[in-house]
Amino acid sequence: MKIVAKTPPMGWNSWDCYGASVTEEEILGNAEYMAKYLKPYGWEYVVCDIQWYEPTADGSRYHKFADLAMDEYSRLIPAENRFPSSRGGKGFAPLAEKIHAMGLKFGIHIMRGIPRQAVHRNTKILGTSATARQVAKEFSVCAWNTDMYGVDSHCEGAQEYYNSIFNLYASWGVDFVKVDDICNMKYKPQEPYADKDEIEMIRKAIDQCGREMVLSLSPGPAVPEEARHLKEHANMWRLTDDFWDNWPALLAMFERCSIWAPHVGQNHWPDCDMLPLGHIGIRSSEDGSSDRMSRFTRNEQKTMMTLWSIFRSPLMMGGEMRDNDPWTLSLLTNERLLAVHREGRGARQFSREDGLIVWHSRLTDGRDCVAVFNVDDQEKQARVDLENVGVTQQRRAEEIWDQPFVLMEGRLSGEIPPHGCLCVLLGEIS
C-alpha cells in the first residue's frame, strides 16, 4: 500500500450539518472557506458524505428504497439536481477540478456493496460478462440504509465491479474515499468485522486505479484484534459509531484512544470521527437535535481538540464553516496544538485517577507535550511529576490554550475547570 497519508488527514465533511442532502453550492462554499482560512494550517480535504446519488435526499433520515442516480454499468453517479455540474455524464470531475484549483483535495462517501436497484434490474458490470445479480450477496445488507447489497468476493465479476467504480472515481479526480458499513461491531454482534473480503477488494481496486486515494472505513467501533488487517488495507478506520456533541460520547473516547494508541502511525490513523463544532444539524436530526451550534461547552471543545490532536486522530470538521465564529476558527488554527497533531510520536495515556487523565507525546523536534484532562464535574487541582511521564530535563513551557499553570521543580500544576484540560508544550531551556 502506497504512503498517501504521512500525517493524519485534516478536512471537512458534510454529514454533521447536511446529513445526506448536501448540494454542490454548499460543498464549494465550504471549500472556498477552507482555502481562505484553513489551508495554511494544513486543512485540505473537502468530503461529500453519503447519498450524493439520491435526488430526493433532504436530511439525515434516509428514504427507503429511493430511486438512485446510476449509469448503465451499475455505478452510482451524482444526482444532477443537487450537483448540476455533473450533467452530461461528467460526474464529479468538474467539482473536483474546482476544488483542486483551490489547492485542496476532494473526497466522497460510498456504501459498501452494489446498488440494490442494479441487482433488481440485473444491470451490466464494466469489464466482465457478469451482471449485478450474479455478484450480489443479497443476505448482506446494511442495518440502517437500503441502498446496497454486499458483494460476494467469490463470484466472477466481483473484483471487476469494485475496479470499475474506483476507476470512475479516479477519472473524476477523487482523492479520498470514505467507505461505510464496513468495519463495525454494533450492527453485526455475531460476526464483528465480517467484511474483510470487501475491504480487500476495495484495496485492490484502489491500487489498480492509477490514482492515489486515502481509504477511510466507517462506522466503528473497529475491532482492536483486527488492527493488523486494518493497517494493511486502510488509511483510517473509525473507533466509534457517529460521534456527536455530548459529554458522555467524548468521555468514552479516552478509553478508545488509550487502546488504539499503539497502532497510530504513518499511513494508518485510527479515527475518532468528525469534530461537531460550530453550526451543525442544519439538515440533520441525528443525536436527538437539529439545527444548532455545538452543544459542547468551550472547555469540552478544547478537550476534544486536545485529545484528537495528541492521539493524532484525523481531524474532520463537521460544521458549516462559513458560519464559524472567531472562537470556532481559533480552535481550528491553534498552531501549537496542530504542531502536536502533525509531529507528535508515541502518544500514550499515563494515568487515570481521581477524575484526572494524563497523556504524553514527544514531538520530532524533541519537545514534549503533556495534557491533563479533568473529566469530573468540578474544578480540579492538577499536579503532575514530569519525570513520571518521561520528561526528565529542565524545560521552558508554554500552554497551548493559555490556561494558567505553574512549572516548578519538575512538577506541573494548575487548576483545571470541569471537562477542561491543561496542555503544555515543554522544550529545552536555551
Per-residue pLDDT of 323-338, as tens digits, reads 999 999 999 999 999 9
Radius of gyration of the chain (CA): 22
Q: How many CB atoms lie within 10 A of CB 66?
A: 16
Whose cell is 461547552? That residue is 297
Per-residue pLDDT of 38-76, as tens digits, reads 999 999 999 999 999 999 999 999 999 999 999 999 999
pTM for this entry = 0.96
How much of the chain exceeds pLDDT 90, in percent? 92
Using pLDDT thresholds of 50, 70 and 90, give the confidence band for residue 184: confident
Q: What is the pLDDT of residue 289?
A: 82
C-alpha cell recorded at residue 104: 485542496
Per-residue pLDDT of 132-152, as tens digits, reads 999 999 999 999 999 999 999
Q: What is the 3-state secondary structure (H, E, C) of the chain?
A: CCCCCCCCCEEEECHHHHCCCCCHHHHHHHHHHHHHHHHHHCCCEEEECCCCCCCCCCCCCCCCCCCCCECCCCCECCCCCCCHHHCCCCCCHHHHHHHHHCCCEEEEEEECCEEHHHHHHCCECCCCCCEHHHHEEEEEECCCCCCEEEECCCCCCHHHHHHHHHHHHHHHCCCEEEEECCCCCCCCCCCCCCCHHHHHHHHHHHHHCCCCCEEEECCCCCCHHHHHHHHHHCCEEECCCCCCCCHHHHHHHHHHHHHHHHHCECCEEEECCCECCCEECCCCCHHHCCCEECCCCHHHHHHHHHHHHHHCCCEEECCCHHHCCHHHHHHHCCHHHHHHHHHEEEEEEEEEECCEEEEEEEECCCCEEEEEEECCCCCEEEEEEHHHHCCCCCEEEEECCCCCCEEECCEEEEEECCCCEEEEEEEECC
> Is the Cα torsion angle 383, 338, 300, 50 positive or negative in sign?
negative
Q: What is the pLDDT of residue 242?
A: 95
Per-residue pLDDT of 198-257, as tens digits, reads 999 999 999 999 999 999 999 999 999 999 999 999 999 999 999 999 999 999 999 999
Q: What is the pLDDT of residue 132?
A: 98
User: Residue 192 pLDDT more than 80?
Assistant: no
When the pLDDT of each residue in the chain is averaged and rounded to a whole number, the result is 95
Q: What is the pLDDT of residue 287?
A: 76
